[in-house]
Structure 1
Amino acid sequence: MSGGGRKDAAPGAAGDVPAAAAGGSRPQEVRNVVLVGHSGAGKTTLVEALALATGAVGRAGRVEDGGSLSDRDGIERRQQRSVQLSLVPVEWGGVRINLLDTPGYADFVGELRAGLRAADAALFVVSAAQDGEGIGGATRMVWDECAAVGMPRAVVVTHLESARAGFEETAAQCARELGGDDPDAVLPLYLPVRGPAGPDGHAPVTGLVGLLTGRVHDYSSGERVEADPDPATAARLAGARDRLVEGIIAESEDETLMDRYLGGEALDTGTLLADLERAVARGGFHPVLAAAPAAEGARQGLGTVELLELVTRGFPTPLERAAPPVTDPEGHPRPALACDPDGPLAAEVVRTASDPYVGRLSLVRVFSGTLRPDETVHVSGHGLRDRGHEDHDVDERVGALSSPSGRQQRPVPSASAGDLVCVARLARAETGDTLSDPDHPLLMAPWRMPDPLLPVAIEAHGNADEDKFSQGLARLVAEDPTMRLEQNPDTHQVVLWCMGEAHAEVALERLRGRYGVRVDAVEHRVPLRETFGRAVSARGRHVKQSGGHGQFAICDIEVEPLPAGSGVEFVDRVVGGAVPRQFVPSVEKGVRAQAERGVTAGIPLVDVRVTLTDGKAHSVDSSDAAFQTAGALALREAAAGCGIRLLEPVDEVGVLVPDAYVGPVMSDLSGRRGRVLGAEPAGAGRSLVRAEVPETEIGRYAVELRSLSHGTGRFSRHYARHEPMPTQLAAKMHHLEGAEEQTARAR
């Protein structure tokens, strides 16, 4: 893009300071851009190509101090995919561009949402070599989320070097699937120029031709060289250029442009470019560009310069994007924040990580004011208690400020409003926390976090890991607000609730590798219950005499089932003092303790009324302990003479899917012993399917729904009640639970 520019956000003069070392940039000289796309689309490769083109890395693709840009985490190297949000600052034309590379795999959606929070615009990376699958359902959902908040967006088509790549087809697909009701708002700015075909018949892309300027940008030498188009290329532009011009005019603030254009007037290219840039910054027009990595030994990859020009000239500055709403820590609204380096300090932790050398590192977006090293800030917490996170309302001293360069951190003197910076030694601050002036504390409205719905039960591998187990888990969940830690009081299991299998795998590997805690994943158990199927009477007899003081207690009880949710009731109907008054509470204590332990397989007993009707005592040998034991024995005897019913938890489930998947989702839920309650429209071609499903059937539903709906489905679950389990399943479950109880006792 050349020949025009937004007058309200012109970039500052180019400087000699490398972007990674810049600090205190003015807001108008900053662009915060998040890269979005499915796994394998080429986001990280694109970031490296942009870093190479801007000089942030040398020609060998290495960071100046020796680290590789993609060498960010050992887990990522082993899994060959991004699992965390990463910041790569570059500089172009005096503008600092903070590139936020997000994971494309659905399990790490929390990292994606953190990137969206920190950015002012989004680049959607779409592969042209995916056989029509370059735009997945998850990508479309993120596009719609960005549209809902008015975030400016552009599309970058990658993998043009592939023999199967088709830029025009991919651009048309983007217009159809992302443009929605206005496909002319998603149009290409350039078309690829291909060189001579090779022996395999594939003609490689060697350059781009601008639809507005008509200039060819040839990258075949490794540097962009401008030239005039040949006649064949010029003829190819006509239809695409007309459509692009009409799309720009439709978003223009100049209402006379359309009439002038329809009247045959040749519109000035500079005017069209300026209107294009304003439309992009407002989020009304979404250009489609192309990019490919640089060839061996080359510096500029195809399309990198065009993309950098779009970012610096078309994407909004932090001055043009509203900050999140703020309150004081008590929840009282405060005035809206302005992106002013001299304003009150308001910053947000968008990511927390542990570095083996400097300890905890916090990636912080500064929305207002200026953050400086060694100053004291107030940390306001985010209220995720249900996920194992504490509320924070403390003062902390800021450590060193730095900007990342691969695996290295370069110190910066300060971070002004609109910029992103890494902060060391914030021991209490976690992802989502607000940093502000201690004298005027603020709390930003949190961004929406998805609920983790895949349970993973874990336990320490050995005695040596027990001491580090709790501390390691606490540090793990402090880094990742999409993870929830649960100490289940019923099953006595430690459960990590994760977004999916890959998320769980990364979490366990981080526990082992980063925190030195070896853990084992064990089968997750749902909290089952038992109850009586009918009323029954029984006697508990505890009589022992072995010389000296003996034990004597006999009690007769009646047990009857109660409605769901009644718990355990105890009633005393003893007459005539058969059980002395002082021992009646002892019987109740024994009954309740046995009910909590269970009467058959270690599963708690609920929804029964236990009535003490009669008994016997001894003037010398009866005691509190003896009657506790007799009460417990009586309850076990009652269970032996009555059919015990196993109760399983049932959840209310809501599944949000595109209309095309409503039928398959309903069939799948029914196959899980679920009661489908119906479906209702949820807007934009989506429906909400409601059902009640046993928890034992949806332990892995987070993974299975993703497969069923091709990544487009979401669901929520809330405990409803316990219900009787079918007899055959109950018998099998009783057997399994009993075997586990015996194993536990043996240990």
Structure 2
Amino acid sequence: MNVYTTDKIRNVVLLGHGGSGKTTLAEAMSYLAGITSRMGRVEDGNTISDYDKEEIKRKFSISTSVIPLEWEGVKVNILDSPGYFDFVGEVEEAVAAADAAVIVVSGKAGVEVGTEKAWDLCEKYNLPRMFYVSDMDVDNASFREVVETLTNMYGKKIAPLFQPIRENEKFVGYVNVVKMAGRRFIDKGKREECEIPDYCKEYLDIYREALMDSVAETSDEFMERYFSGDEFSVDEIRAALRFNIDDCSIVPVEMGSAVELRNIHNLLTDIVKYFPSPDKRQCAGLNKKTNEIFEGNYDFQKAKSAYIFKTIVDPFIGKYSLIKVVSGVIKNDDVLYNTDKDTEEKLNKLYVLQGNKPIEVKELHAGDIGAIGKLSAARTGDTLATKAIPIAYGKTEMSIPYTYKRYKAKNKGDDDKISQALNKMMIEDQTIKAVNDGENRQTLLYGMGDQHLDIITSKLQDEYKVEIELTKPKMAFRETIRKKSDVEGKHKKQSGGHGQYGHVKMTFEPSGDLEKSFIFEQIVVGGAVPKNYFPAVEKGLADSMQKGPLAGYPVVGVKATLYDGSFHPVDSSEMAFKMATILAFKKGFMDASPVLLEPIASLKVTVPDKYTGDVMGDLNKRRGRVLGMNPTAGGKQVIEADIPMMELYGYSTDLRSMTGGRGDYRYEFARYEQAPSDIQEKEVAARAAAESGSEDS
């Protein structure tokens, strides 16, 4: 592939709801740009960007793919991102590397929740954007309805640039709203001039007015001319569009059919014409040597630097670090310094990836996207620079995974293989987390939703040849007491020679501090228990706290006081007093109104206004206590609640169902509270069953 200078590069992410046609659009662009000799189909599993086995099997995108293509002498790096919410980490990585976005909306399905989420991401990163209405070849597709919905949602900045011409339910041409000229399709990617049909004129006038409104809003001079009835020239409209798309004050709407390759050429031309090159964007980091701000700003004349926005770890194609060059020119024999890992690595080869196909390049200019193979220490988010000028850029803010399940190896002896495979997958996908929960003797797998966890399981089986099973995780309960008890424990054994003798009298009561396991005091008088056995008593308590007598969970919030006892000058030992303490604790704990404590989470749910009633009703059913609501941007509310952590199992799926995918949530552990009696009884019964050997613990 040729080398492109910064002004000849466009980095464009395709966003939108799952199934809206992003991958098909990327395929059509690739075909028209001459990358492929035939168009692949998602249904046939032969597209450039959906190359992963799971993507081919499930027929939707799971990972972001990069497709570099050339159009009108400009390199357009297309980032085809997934639409399903479980793969939001991939979308966030793509958006962080892009300089503009095309939000794909199905003309058949209309504006969906994925469209709104795509818009919100563009707002967050201040990305110039345009809408592309797909599926115009489908019978019941409606460009008009999509434009009306977008205008109602986002106001006068929505500016349609084309209007479809349909005859007998077929998509046969379009009207260019800027030029006010009709075009009829004659062959794939080709068209000829035609008259604008009369039935188009009613909505054409509306679209033209909407476009002129948007252009007029861009300056006082244009506004004056607009109100005085002056017409803008095509060049003036285009210049206004270029300027105002860049500052997000105009959002054009285009349309077409990727399947029939209709109007895709105009979309590619407008990407080149209206979207900014990287040098129009800003990106600053920190020079770690001088502690000064380094403004890379995609300037090829500055010291070389790049950040890794995505990592691919594939058992078949190997490991690739996808980079965006922020400054300078990176060449294939450079030695780059990883400022996050404090390591230097020599580049063997520099690539651009076309889906999963690596193509060697000699150099990448500032603003370009490429890949480096086999960087050993590098991870997503790391900065590559030179040791002389070690720049560090901020890391992309990634969504936190809150959905988790317990996982076990199906086959004994696979634990190490599973651990290694998950480590590789976590390098590639930062929204996967594997956690060893030693307290409950379980391993936990975190993801963005049930579908995400399902795909991780499937990938482990297909790519790494190991199988896991997912089950509901055990909860991290605690045990404590509510009353005071007074008991004694005696450990006495005689079996020839030295015997064993330890005798303690103790009280147990609530300490009032659930942060600490126990507080130990001794008020023994007259040497009834010699001081040298006090540490043994404390050790007996510490051991007892690991698994409480009620249901086998750790004990918290207990004050234990040793006030009396007795000893034998020959048979007493540290071990004997430790055993006596363990006996005393078991009895004393069960005599002091033992209770089970459950973990409580502090939960924040962000939802549009209209769903607050449903969400609060559901939280009440889950034993949640709603603490309040705070309005936030975009007509949404943040509902704050305390909720038992065990009630959050499956919440991701239920919240999506209640809010049509518009709700988000996050939580963190807050404290422990007494569990209801029915839950306590269930846990105690489970413990009894486990001890009798009828159930695997």
Structure-2-length-normalised TM-score = 0.94
Q: Distance in 2 between matches of 1:135 and 1:231?
A: 27
The answer on 1:528 being equivalent to 2:477 is yes
Q: Distance in 1 between matches of 2:611 and 2:437?
A: 34
Q: Distance in 2 between matches of 1:478 and 1:596?
A: 35
- Structure 2 match to 1:367: 326
- Which residue identity does 1:635 align to in structure 2? F
1:644-723 aligned at under 5 Å gives the runs 644-723=594-673
Residue number among 274, 292, 301 corresponding to 1:314 in the alignment: 274
- Structure 2 match to 1:171: 147
- Structure 1 match to 2:246: 281
- Structure 1 match to 2:293: 334
- Which residue identity does 1:735 align to in structure 2? A
Q: Distance in 2 between matches of 1:294 and 1:694?
A: 49
- Structure 2 match to 1:726: 676
Residue number among 199, 209, 220 corresponding to 1:243 in the alignment: 209
Give CA-to-partner distance per residue, 1:292-331, whole Å, 9 cap, x none. Answer: 1244xxxxx01101100110000000011111x3124489
Residue number among 161, 164, 167 corresponding to 2:137 in the alignment: 161
- Structure 2 match to 1:38: 17
1:226-625 aligned at under 5 Å gives the runs 226-232=192-198, 235-236=201-202, 238-253=204-219, 255-295=220-260, 301-323=261-283, 325-329=284-288, 332-381=291-340, 392-565=341-514, 566-625=516-575
By how many angstroms is 1:230 displaced? 4.5
- Which residue identity does 1:332 align to in structure 2? N
Q: 1:135 to 1:736 in 2, by over 3 A?
A: farther
- Which residue identity does 1:512 align to in structure 2? Q
The answer on 1:218 being equivalent to 2:184 is yes
Q: 1:584 to 1:374 in 2, by over 3 A?
A: same
By how many angstroms is 1:664 displaced? 1.6
Contact 2:507 2:560 in 1 (8 A): yes
The answer to which structure, 1 or 2, has the higher relative contact order (CA under 8 A, 6+ apart) is: 1
Contact 2:313 2:425 in 1 (8 A): no
Identity of aligned residues (%): 32
By how many angstroms is 1:231 displaced? 4.7
By how many angstroms is 1:459 displaced? 2.8
- Which residue identity does 1:159 align to in structure 2? D
Secondary structure of the residue aligned to 1:606 is coil
Contact 1:214 1:228 in 2 (8 A): no
Give CA-to-partner distance per residue, 1:255-292, whole Å, 9 cap, x none. Answer: 43333344344432222222222222232211111121
Q: 1:513 to 1:540 in 2, by over 3 A?
A: farther
Q: 1:585 to 1:95 in 2, by over 3 A?
A: same
Q: Distance in 1 between matches of 2:426 and 2:163?
A: 46
Q: Distance in 1 between matches of 2:540 and 2:380?
A: 47
By how many angstroms is 1:529 displaced? 0.4
Which stretches in structure 2 are left out of the alignment for 5+ residues? none
Q: Distance in 1 between matches of 2:204 and 2:553?
A: 75
Q: Distance in 1 between matches of 2:41 and 2:446?
A: 38
Residue number among 65, 83, 93 corresponding to 1:114 in the alignment: 93
- Structure 2 match to 1:189: 161
Q: 1:138 to 1:741 in 2, by over 3 A?
A: farther
Secondary structure of the residue aligned to 1:256 is helix
Secondary structure of the residue aligned to 1:560 is strand
Q: 1:331 to 1:658 in 2, by over 3 A?
A: farther
Q: Distance in 2 between matches of 1:650 and 1:414?
A: 54
Q: 1:245 to 1:476 in 2, by over 3 A?
A: closer
- Structure 2 match to 1:10: none
Contact 1:376 1:398 in 2 (8 A): yes
Comparing 715-724 with 537-546, greater Cα deviation is found at: 537-546
- Structure 1 match to 2:172: 206
Q: Distance in 2 between matches of 1:746 and 1:482?
A: 31
Q: CA RMSD in A?
A: 2.4
Q: Distance in 2 between matches of 1:663 and 1:537?
A: 50
Structure-1-length-normalised TM-score = 0.88
By how many angstroms is 1:158 displaced? 0.9
- Bigger share in strand: 2
Q: 1:591 to 1:36 in 2, by over 3 A?
A: same
- Which residue identity does 1:327 align to in structure 2? L
Secondary structure of the residue aligned to 1:440 is coil
Contact 1:353 1:362 in 2 (8 A): yes
By how many angstroms is 1:148 displaced? 4.6
- Structure 2 match to 1:11: none
Q: 1:241 to 1:501 in 2, by over 3 A?
A: closer
Q: Distance in 1 between matches of 2:561 and 2:478?
A: 20
Contact 2:27 2:47 in 1 (8 A): no
Secondary structure of the residue aligned to 1:661 is helix
By how many angstroms is 1:528 displaced? 0.6
By how many angstroms is 1:698 displaced? 1.1
By how many angstroms is 1:149 displaced? 4.1
By how many angstroms is 1:60 displaced? 4.7
Q: Distance in 2 between matches of 1:740 and 1:435?
A: 53
Q: Distance in 2 between matches of 1:136 and 1:657?
A: 15
Contact 2:405 2:473 in 1 (8 A): yes
By how many angstroms is 1:524 displaced? 1.0
Q: Number of residue pairs matched?
A: 694
Residue number among 42, 48, 54 corresponding to 1:75 in the alignment: 54
Contact 2:487 2:506 in 1 (8 A): yes
Q: Distance in 1 between matches of 2:448 and 2:80?
A: 19
Secondary structure of the residue aligned to 2:578 is helix
- Which residue identity does 1:573 align to in structure 2? I
Q: Distance in 2 between matches of 1:746 and 1:552?
A: 36
- Which residue identity does 1:630 align to in structure 2? A
Q: Distance in 2 between matches of 1:707 and 1:47?
A: 30
Which stretches in structure 1 are left out of the alignment for 5+ residues? 1-20, 198-202, 296-300, 382-391
By how many angstroms is 1:626 displaced? 2.1
Q: Distance in 2 between matches of 1:268 and 1:347?
A: 41
